[in-house]
Amino acid sequence: MLHYFDLAASLAICTIPRKAGLQNCAMGLSLCLMKKNIALLAAASSLLLIPSLAYAAPAPSNSEIIAALRDKALQADDVAYDIVEGLTTEIGPRQAGTEAEARARIWAVTKLKALGFDNVRIEEYKMPTWVRGAETAEITAPFKQKMAVAALGNSASTGDAGIDAEIVYFPTIDHLRAAQDGSLKGKIAFVSHNMKATQDGSSYGAFGPARFVGPNIAAKKGAAAIVIRSIGTDHHRNPHTGNTNFEPGVTPIPAGALSIPDAENLERMIARGKPVRMKLKLTPQNFGIQTSGNVLAEVTGSNTDLPIIVIACHLDSWDLGTGAIDDAAGCGIIGAAATHLKSMGQPKRTVRVLWAGAEEVGIWGGRDYGEKHAREPHAFAMESDFGAGKIWAVDFNLPESASALRAQITAALAPLGVAPRKEAAGGGADVGAIIAAQKLGVIDMQQDGTKYFDLHHTPDDTLDKIDKAELRQNVAAWIATLAYVANFEGELKPSSPQ
Ligand SMILES: [Zn+2]
């Protein structure tokens, strides 16, 4: 079956090269001619009423095989959902450094072996491990009532007795930054913000610092504790957890996130003008250095002289939900795409699947991979870690010499409603270290993140939030891209001499 988009794409490759260089046409010419011939034959047979059976069917082209794989994944992929369903059902929360994360690694090895991958293995590393304890927040004056709170990763403990202190309100992180040193002594800082949902998730970068650095700033200014408005966009009474970090030399303070309805309630209380007091109890513990690990699996390429491709997700999750969108979905998407790649036969390049550990608490797995594999030649990386929302755009960071590859991928993604953008692809957290070490080529699939921060790091991150059709669209886009890249023998690193 000849797809309209493939024909259009191949014709485009034929018409562009007058400006862009003959090598593009050389790659596409035979395909173009073949497709034109098919079109002419089809037209002739219908005009002259020649039975089509009189002609032997030509062998399908590479682009037709890839289009068929893409369309099959879009309609019927079950591999990705099976991975998300299995991981959330049989393991559930899998916080970094805990025995649950260790069980997830064993589960992953079994699953990847069952899917037929080569060299399935665990690479362990050590990391500090923090786990939550009891957590309660109550306004004690002037309007006594309880609030929903969750400790942030690396929070200190209040002790069992808790802290009862006056709230000092900061509408934004910048207001906290501007507070005088020592002015928060004995107080609980409360930092709010005005995060709104964005399709590309960019509001996480804009408003996330309330969590990322707010506790460190409050600690340096002498605060006894800090609570923030959860970094999220929902209005459920669910706090959003997540990591925070204290600089060396700064003594950690208790740090919690209030659910968004509770944070808004607290703002209304503060607006009444009377001093507001909170009793905060958070009793997390540091368990010291524990074992975590990455799970690796491969589709072995036919030409082992070619640098490899690494595709990543993260296996760990926060502990409040079951980590369906963050990031079982990503492991499902890349696991399914690599599984379908095998159905084309052996790719030219080896594709390594990296289900990284301990991303949420400091990208320990991604950094360990970057160190252990720094000397192993890689060419290209991709990552899936933004839920299971539909892919709407694609970004590239490839050399100019790979413009024909880029055109093929763009054409293969167009039927999925995915448009190319001009932004340079940057990769993700778990492939960040290896990209930086080897200056790899990258393609980013931009998923629709409009609803992502309704669920992110909350008890609501569960399997029922996965839309099967959108998950399949992700797999379809990934297999179309991966099939072209894994069979491309030219240079993929953008910085290489042209
Ligand atoms: Zn994640």
pLDDT band at 50 (very low <50, low <70, confident <90, very high): very low
351 and 478 share one domain: yes
Identify the domain boundary among 255, 283, 311.
Answer: 283
* Cα–ligand 1 centroid distance for 423 (angstroms): 22
Q: If you measure from the C-alpha of residue 449 to the centroid of ligand 1, how many angstroms do you get, rounded to a whole number?
A: 12
87 and 117 share a domain?
Answer: yes
Read off the pLDDT of residues 298-325 as tens digits, 9 standing for 90 and up.
999 999 999 999 999 999 999 999 999 9
What DSSP character marks residue 158?
-
Q: What is the pLDDT of residues 361-418, one digit of tens each?
A: 999 999 999 999 999 999 999 999 999 999 999 999 999 999 999 999 999 999 999 9
**Residue 25 is assigned to a structural domain of this protein:** yes
Treating both helix axes as pointing N-terminal to C-terminal, what angle do 403-413 and 4-15 enclose, rounded to 10 degrees?
A: 160
Q: Give the number of domains in the chain.
A: 3
Task: Tell me phi and psi for residue 192, to 5 degrees.
Answer: -105, -175
Assess contact for 117 and 148: CB atoms under 8 A.
Answer: no
Residue type, 259: S
Does residue 11 sit in the same domain as residue 30?
yes
> For residues 418 and 475, what is the distance between their CA atoms, to the nearest angstrom?
13
Q: Do 343 and 408 share a domain, yes or no?
A: yes
| Residues 249, 147 share a domain | yes
pLDDT, tens digit, 9 for 90 and up, residues 193-247? 999 999 999 999 999 999 999 999 999 999 999 999 999 999 999 999 999 999 9
Q: Facing residues of 309 across strands?
A: 351, 380
At residue 153, what is the residue type? G
386 CA distance to ligand 1 middle (Å): 6
Residue 494 lies inside a defined structural domain of this protein: no
What's the gap in Å between 271 CA and the centre of ligand 1? Answer: 36
Say what the pLDDT of residue 59 is.
86
Edge-first strand listing for the sheet containing 277-282: 145-147, 135-141, 277-282, 163-170, 188-191, 225-229, 255-258, 149-151
- Average pLDDT for residues 81-97, to the nearest whole number? 98
What is the CATH number for 198? 3.50.30.30
Instruction: Give the domain range for residue 327.
Output: 66-129+288-486
Please report the pLDDT score of residue 57 as a whole number: 77
- Residue 455: HSE in the Cβ half-sphere, 13 Å Cα cutoff: 23
Q: Are 260 and 312 members of one domain?
A: no
Which residues, at least 6 apart from 260, have a Cβ–Cβ distance to it below 8 Å?
229, 230, 232, 234, 235, 236
* CA proximity to 243, closest of 331, 132, 343: 132
At 5 the three-state DSSP class reads: helix
**Mean pLDDT, rounded, for 71-92:** 98
Q: How far is the CA of 167 from the centre of ligand 1 (A)?
A: 32
> Distance between CA 261 and CA 59 in Å, rounded?
61
For residue 302, give the nearest of 349, 352, 339 by alpha carbon.
349
Residues 23 and 72 in one domain: no
